[in-house]
A and B are shown apart, each in its own frame.
Chain A
Amino acid sequence: MTETLGKDLLALEPLTARQIRLILDTAEPFKEISERAIKKVPALRGKTIVNLFFEASTRTRISFEFAEKRLSADTVNVASSGSSVQKGETLVDTARNLEAMRIDMVVIRHGASGAARFLADRIESNVINAGDGTHEHPTQGLLDLLTLRDNLGDLTGRRVCIVGDVLHSRVARSNIWGLQKLGAEVAVCGPRTLLPWAIGEFGVRVFSRIEEAIEWAEALNILRLQLERMTAGYIPSLREYNRVFGVSRERLARAPRDILILHPGPMNRGVEIDSDVADGPHSVILNQVTNGVAIRMAVLYLLAGGRPELAEAAKGASDR
């Protein structure tokens, strides 16, 4: 296998289908490690990883931390509040100071689109994007792909619809790129105010009514409706959003097939998703969370040794 990832994982858009499959395939055996009594392998022993979170996050940060610890890496968490960032230090200065302490990898979550790329171009450590502004959230996209693949098999020709606030969603972007590269058909559905103006350029189908999306799709990836969108005037009210776009059991019951339900979390029950759907038999929302740890382990593992010339050498070597 000659495929490698290079130094960083910043987005799914620049990756090839083979690189995405490499990550998904590498994640498979990592699932089992989390089922062991001793949930730890020594693959990244002695590596130091900094989780640099400039935005609030529980799930993603904990998922990365579990992934790092289960690979035996040493981890440090830096949150923007209570750090020198609050004192006005720039992103690059923060990272360079960390690098001066001899770290190996940085996992970064930042409110500005492009922040991960900006950092990756300026430091030598591996950089993993854990969400940058409205750009991408590649590991979320990958764990969604893995969960879809677990349940649907090969994604070629499978129909996945992303529902909700696509405009502000980095999860939506990573999903669209990843799904299209693996050959799936992608649609989006949401109020026109919450879809990007240039949605046509993504090459996706657009549904303005949730009923049409349910009629068409084999899986729905339901995005969280950020509550502050209402005060910003994107939607009239949460109740109205739920009435028009909420995914309910009644709506799903009219579908011509069982529809797989994904949600990147955290959920607003009763807004974009009803409780009996979130907890229903076709919900794979908690499988997504489980797969998230395996995906992040795979990405860390591949980046840690991911120097192409060495992977090439490994191909020829046959020491036992």
Chain B
Amino acid sequence: MPSSPTTVFDARAMDRTLRRMADEIIELNDGTDGLVLVGIQRRGVQLADRLAAMMKEREHVDVPRGALDITLYRDDLQTVGPRPVVGPTDIPWDIGAKHVVIVDDVLYTGRTIRAALDELADFGRPARIGLAVLVDRGGRELPIRADVVGKTLAVANGDRVDVLVKDLDGKDAVVVVRPGDGA
């Protein structure tokens, strides 16, 4: 029997979690010096913007942000075919010797992060690269882990975890969609 998507986070829960993540990132970095947030297109970029705004409230500094589109660094062009090239890569800062934190919405197989690490290496040599994700859903295919996690979810392989953000989707939420769900 088809069920409807399960809401994991509503807007308020998501806001609360992001605030905690912003604090944890600052803690991990011992402050905001040398910190650069790099969001992965598309929803990682929105989340990085959110985190930066929260950091500004708390620390009164503008943390530099960048955007990374990893489409051209994927390893599945042969097996899956070309994807729509979704968004621009924009790394306006010299990331050499910086503490770069990659921000993405969902961590799953780890292949996106592998691609992001490759792409970042073509822009410079950061002192350290960290990873912050809103949802860790397990199912890793590579030895990759996140430093800052909003929520860990145990979901079945066929399920989909969707992060919705207001700017793109009209509302903030995290939902789990099972095969056969109407959504």
Contact = CB atoms under 8 A, between A and B. Distances in A.
Interface in A1-49: 1, 4, 25-26, 28-30, 32-33, 36-38, 40-44
A64 B82 CA distance: 20
Interface residues of A, number: 32
Contact of A306 (B69, B81, B90): B81
| Residue of B73, B119, B122 with highest tally of chain A CB at under 10 A | B122
B109 A25 contact: no
B111 A305 contact: no
Interface residues on B, range: 20 to 34
A36 B81 contact: no
Interface string B98-112: 000000111111011
B77 A37 contact: no
Contacts of A87: none
A307 B118 CA distance: 26
A42 B73 contact: yes
Nearest to A41: B72
A67 to B, nearest CB: 13
A29 B84 contact: no
A317 B108 CA distance: 13
A272 to B, nearest CB: 36
A40 B87 contact: no
A78 interface: no
B106 A29 contact: no
A1 B84 contact: yes
Interface in B105-140: 105-109, 111-112, 118-119, 122-123
Contacts of A32: 88-90
A42 B116 CA distance: 12
Interface string A293-320: 0000000011011110011011001111
Contact of A305 (B77, B118, B122, B123): B77
24 contacts: A25-B84, A25-B85, A26-B84, A29-B85, A29-B88, A33-B72, A38-B122, A42-B72, A42-B73, A42-B118, A44-B77, A301-B72, A305-B77, A305-B78, A305-B81, A311-B81, A313-B80, A314-B81, A317-B80, A318-B160, A319-B111, A320-B105, A320-B108, A320-B112
Given A28-B88, A41-B72, A44-B77, 8 more contacts: A4-B82, A29-B87, A33-B72, A36-B122, A305-B82, A306-B81, A311-B82, A313-B81
Interface of B: 69, 71-74, 77-85, 87-90, 104-109, 111-112, 118-119, 122-123, 160
